[in-house]
Chain A
Amino acid sequence: MKLAIKLHDKDNVATATATLSAGEAVSVLSHEGKPVDQVVASTDVPLAYHKIALVDLAAGELVYKYGEVVGRATAEIKRGAWVHVHNVESAHIPESAAWR
């Protein structure tokens, strides 16, 4: 089975190590290399090392990878769907230098 890596417990996306076709099952590994989930691709993922959603995301929800926010959903994203520039944008707002 093809693999995807979930880099942090808090993440709601995983990175697939190969291209995926809709309907294909993927084994999701933790940072310890242990299987933690199995997801069926709900869309094609046409390039290797791209992200798939591990949960259903509503438009506006934050996307977590490395346990940190890497963007914000701009459309509804179903579990198993390709997550990229067509449905996620930067959530980074230049902040003031406030500490903690």
Chain B
Amino acid sequence: MSNATEFWGYLRPDGQVGTRNHLLVLAAGNCAYEEARRMAAAVPGAVAVSQWHHCTRDEMVERGMIGIGRNPNVGAVLVVGLGCESLTAEILFDGIQPCGKPIAQVVIQEVGGSLRAIEAGTRILREMAAELSRQRRQPFPLSELTVAVECGGSDATSGLAANPAVGNAADRLVDAGATVYFGETIEMTGTEHILARRAVDAKTAQDIYDIIQEQENFAKASGIPSRHIQQGNMDGGLTTIEEKSLGAILKGGTRPIQGVLHYNRTQLELPARPGLYIQEGTDSDVPSVTSMAAAGATVTLFTSGRGSTTGHAILPVIKVTGNPATYEWLNDNMDVNAGKIILGQAGITDLGQEIYDLTLRVASGEKTKAEILGFEDFLIYRVDPVAQNLLRRCEW
């Protein structure tokens, strides 16, 4: 049924396998980003990212940034710091270095200002780029592939075509030995009993109830009635909260759930074995993809009915739309036309095979439309510690 069962990736010193060979310039905070951006601009292929929360040492931001540096799609890392921040370049350097890939750091206040830092950083990047260009792809089984599944800009076709098609591809990937993540916990509201039924053990089932409950508490505290659906959802044909959430969770497929990967103020969990996982957390699409990248995802399948254009700084993002009009109108951005399902020209299973095949080709180096356009979307997700501490003192 699903033919290819290997992909061509880059082997890292820690044994992980990347689908890309990015040269990453990681600014510890936004106060070092201008220099980081200029270093990356001087060496084609390098990409600069930062976090936009604070320069204080936030555990969740720190784990997320280290996770990004350790992601196997990153071949080498240059960490850039200003010098007076609490989340220092050195903390990130020390967190990433054990995975063995080339890494260096430049601290702007130590080397004497922006221009000296840019020169020093650019020279380091030049050496790293030469090193990365000598590395070659090798064939690997799908047990070395981790696929993030995400949705954004949904419409009435999402739950009808794109999400079921990506879910079918997710089932094929899991059956072939790969690992698949899906997240955005708040969109699981009303389906916790269905997800828990698919849990491989009682702990996972309990974890599913707990993370969805916590997100509901956040929603309630924000004044959002989490078990109601919006007028726009109803106009789009959704009748109940469980129907809406079923359409969203379907993008993760139907296979047993091996565990919840916690990502919060105390941990960033990685899976112990292949299979399907839920990652804790909720936010919009870019932070969600970045969170799954921090936990080791190396390819993203992204469904969008209205037509989200986002890519990612270190992950190839495959855009799947279930809306045939969006596929035509936003053809510069959409990779897969699951709108054929709506038109009766193909079945969900046909599209599942097409998406599976494309995922393996992209994992092996074929570029997505967002990559060809050079999109570098990136946002680190952070739970507000004040809100969380207050919520945990309340009864809901």
Contacts and interface: CB of A to CB of B under 8 A. Distances in A.
Interface string B176-206: 0000000000000011111011010010011
A41 to B, nearest CB: 15
B350 interface: yes
Given A33-B341, A33-B348, A97-B206, A7 B243 contact: no
16 contacts: A7-B348, A31-B348, A33-B344, A33-B348, A48-B237, A49-B236, A49-B237, A66-B250, A71-B242, A84-B239, A85-B239, A90-B240, A90-B242, A97-B196, A97-B205, A97-B206
Interface in B128-144: none
B197 A100 contact: yes
Interface of B: 156-157, 160-161, 164, 190-194, 196-197, 199, 202, 205-206, 209, 227, 234-237, 239-243, 246-247, 250, 341-350
Which of A5, A32, A84, A91 has the largest count of B CB atoms less than 10 A from its CB?
A5
Majority secondary structure of chain A interface residues (helix, strand, loop or mixed):
loop
Interface in A68-85: 68-71, 83-85
B242 A32 contact: no
A15 interface: yes
A100 B156 CA distance: 32
A33 to B, nearest CB: 3
A89 interface: yes
Contact of A70 (B161, B235, B242, B341): B242
B20 to A, nearest CB: 33
Nearest to B243: A70
B394 to A, nearest CB: 18
A57 to B, nearest CB: 13
Contacts, number: 104
A33 B350 contact: yes
Interface in A1-48: 3, 5, 7, 15, 17, 27, 29-34, 47-48
Nearest to A30: B347
Contacts of A34: 347
B368 to A, nearest CB: 25
Contacts of B160: 5, 7, 15, 17, 49
B349 A31 contact: yes
A90 B246 contact: no
A31 B164 contact: yes
B237 A15 contact: yes
B240 A89 contact: yes
B27 to A, nearest CB: 42
A52 B346 CA distance: 21
